[in-house]
Amino acid sequence: MTPKRIAPSVLAADFANLQRDIEMINASEADWFHIDIMDGVFVPNISFGMPVLRDIVKHAKKTIDVHLMIVDPDRYIKTFADLGSNILTVHYEACTHLHRTLQAIKAEGMQAGVAINPHTNVSLLEDTINDIDLVCLMSVNPGFGGQSFIENTYNKVQQLKEIINRKGAKTLIEIDGGVTSKNAKQLVDAGADVLVAGSFVFKSENPTETIKDLKSIVA
């Protein structure tokens, strides 16, 4: 079984104390930095862009997992590679030629991820699953942190896991949105490999301990 990973979402950090929060993640049991890039078009919110990511990467000592919630992501693949992204995830709903986009991400030396919205059926990934390193299952509608987890996600994890196994793919399943210590175990039992957690980590009294707790739940 692949080791389970926790990826704190920097979107929920204190941007006026970003270096402090990055160092907290560095020193914690977290595995990845989850970075949400929103353009105000694909989603009804704008997060932060390249200059902020550049400074995050300067301090971050773990895998940089970038989640692009933007239209026409092909325009920025090289930019995000140059900034130091290790995993670049695009939205299925934003890609007319998904296969081409995946090839372009890999050609830049990154791992290729595909995120799907809650309304998008996992079966749509059947024909590309062997080319996808990571599927990010959105367990909230993308655009904002702090939303409630959509329960149907458990079914989607199971369905996706079945496709991955049947196709002999090595794809990781990441869950993004509303993850807490209450749903973490059930998600991992259903087949999830990576849990993104924003508010649950950063709004807690002791983020380092919260990450540790999540890690022990999924271990």
Question: Residues interacting with Zn ion, by CB under 5 A?
Answer: 36, 67, 176
DSSP, residue by residue, 166-211: HTT---EEEEESS--TTTHHHHHHHT--EEEESHHHHTSS-HHHHH
Question: Closest distance between Zn ion and the C-beta of residue 166, in Å?
Answer: 27
Identify whether 133 is a catalytic site residue.
no
Chain residue at closest Cβ approach to ligand DX5: 198
**Residue (68 or 122) nearer to Zn ion, CB:** 68
Q: Which of 39, 133, 176, 213 is catalytic?
A: 176
**Residue (41 or 107) nearer to ligand DX5, CB:** 41
Selected from 5, 22, 30, 36, the binder of ligand DX5 by CB under 6 A is 36
Q: Which of 36, 39, 133, 193 is catalytic?
A: 36
Question: Closest distance between ligand DX5 and the C-beta of residue 34, in Å?
Answer: 6
Contacts of 69 (CB under 8 A, 6+ apart): 36, 37, 38, 39, 42, 43, 47, 91, 115, 142, 143
CA 19 to chain centre: 21
**Residue (65 or 213) nearer to Zn ion, CB:** 65
The footprint of ligand DX5 on this chain (CB under 6 A) covers a number of residues equal to 22
Answer yes or no whether residue 8 interacts with ligand DX5 by CB under 6 A.
no
Percent helix, percent strand, percent coil in the chain, to nearest 5: 45, 20, 35
What is the Cα–Cα distance from 57 to 93, expressed in whole angstroms? 27
Identify whether 36 is a catalytic site residue.
yes
Cβ(179)–Cβ(215) below 8 Å: no
Phi, psi of 98 (to 5 degrees): -55, -45
Q: Residues in the site for ligand DX5, rule: CB under 6 A?
A: 9, 11-12, 34, 36, 67, 140, 142-147, 176-179, 196-200
Q: What residues are annotated to the active site? A: 36, 176
